[in-house]
Amino acid sequence: MRFETHQLAQHYPLLFEGLRITLTICALSLAFGIVIGLVACFGKLRERGIAYRIAVIYIDFFRTIPEVVLIFWVYSCLPLMLSLRISAEASGVIALTLFASAYLAEIFRAGILAVPRGQIEAALALGVPSLHIWIRVILQPAIRRMMPALVSFLTELIKATSLLSAIGVAEMAYQASVLGSKTFAYVEFLSAIGVLYFIIIFPLSIYARRAERRLVSRTAN
C-alpha cells in the first residue's frame, strides 16, 4: 500500500482543530476537577459525619464506573432529567470533570496524609495560624509529593478525552475517524493522531516516572 501524504497535507488543519478541542476540554475538566476534587478530598479527610460519607460514595462511584458509561449517561440522561439543552462538548466536560474530581480527590488526600504528623505538631506548638499551617506546612510539601501522581493522572485524562468522539465531540480522534471514513485514508489519519497523542503523553509519563523515582529515593534516605 501507499502512504498517501497528500491526504494529510490537505486535511491537517482539521486534525489540529481537533487537537485544540482535545486540549481545551482537558484543561477545563482538569480545572473543574481540581476544585471539586479538593472539596471531596476535605470531605473524606474528616473521617466521620455526613460530608465524609457523601465524599466517600462520590469518590468510589466515579472511580469505579467506566468513563464511557459516565459520558453516555451525562450526554443522554442529564439533559432529560434537568430539562436543559446540554451540548456534546459541555456533556464531555461534565463527565470528565466527575471522573477527574474523584481521582484527584484521592491523589490530594494521599499527598496530604503523607505529611508527617510531627511537622504539623511543630507548627501548632509554635502558634502558627491555621491558614499558614495549611499553606506553608501541609500543602507546600504535599503538592511536591503529589506531582508524579497528578501528571500521571493527566495522561489518563488526555486519553479519556478520545472517548468523547463517541458522542460526536469534534476532538482529535473524532476528526481522524471522520476524515478516514470520508477519504478511506484510515492508515494516514489514524496513524497521524496516534503519533500526536504519543508526542503529548509520552513526555508527561516520562516526567511522572522520573519524579516518582526521585521521590522514592529521597524518602528512602
Partner 1 sequence: MTEGRGKRGQTVVRCVEVTKRFGSFEALRKVSVEVRAGEVVCIIGPSGGGKSTFLRTLNGLESIEEGEIHVLDVRLPAGKREIERLRREVGMVFQSFNLFLHMSVRANLTLAPTTALGLSKAEANERAKRLLTRVGIEEQIDKYPGQLSGGQQQRVAIARALAMEPKIMLFDEPTSSLDPEMVNEVLDVIRGLAESGMTMLVVTHEMGFAREVADRVLFITDGQILVDAPPAEFFGRPTDERQAAFLSKIL
Partner 2 sequence: MLGYGGQTESHDRTWGQNALFAAFAIGLAGLLAYQVNWELIGSLDFSVVWEYRLPLLKGLGTTLFLTAIAGVLGIFFGTILAILSQSPFAPLRWAVVAYVEVFRNTPLLVQLIWLHFALPAFTGINTTALESGILAITLQAGAYFTEIVRAGIEAVPKGQWEAAYALGLPDWTRWTRVILPPALRIMIPPLVNLIISFFKASAILSILQVSELMTVTNRISNVTFKPIELFTATAAIYFVLGYIMSQATLRIERVLQRSQR
Within positions 202 to 221, which residues make up the interface with partner 1, using CB under 8 A? Answer: 221
**In whole angstroms, what is the distance from residue 166 CA to residue 174 CA?**
8
Query: Based on CB atoms, which residue is closest to partner 2, 147 or 192?
Result: 192
177-196 positions binding partner 2, by CB under 8 A = 177, 180, 186-187, 190-191, 193-194
At 8, list the grid cell. Answer: 494529510
Q: Segment near partner 1 (CB under 8 A), from 6-14, 46-54, 100-108, 112-120?
A: 112-120
Number of residues this chain uses to bind partner 2 (CB under 8 A):
55
In the bound state with partner 1, the residue whose beta carbon lies nearer, of 107 and 123, is 123
- Closest to partner 1 by CB, 123 vs 169, is 123
The reply to whether 139 sits near partner 1 by the rule CB under 8 A is: no
Choice from 141, 177, 190, 215 touching partner 1 (CB under 8 A): 141
CA distance 173 to 175: 6
Is residue 133 a contact partner of residue 123, using CB atoms and an 8 Å limit?
yes
Of 99-118, binders to partner 2 (CB under 8 A) are 112
Which of partner 2, partner 1, none does residue 221 bind to, with CB < 5 to 8 Å depending on kind?
partner 1
Minimum distance from CB of 81 to partner 1 (Å)? 43
| Residue 87 contact, options partner 2, partner 1, none, Cβ 5-8 Å cut-off depending on partner type | none
Question: Which residues of the shown chain bind partner 1 in the complex (CB under 8 A)?
Answer: 116, 118-119, 121-130, 132, 136-137, 140-141, 144, 221
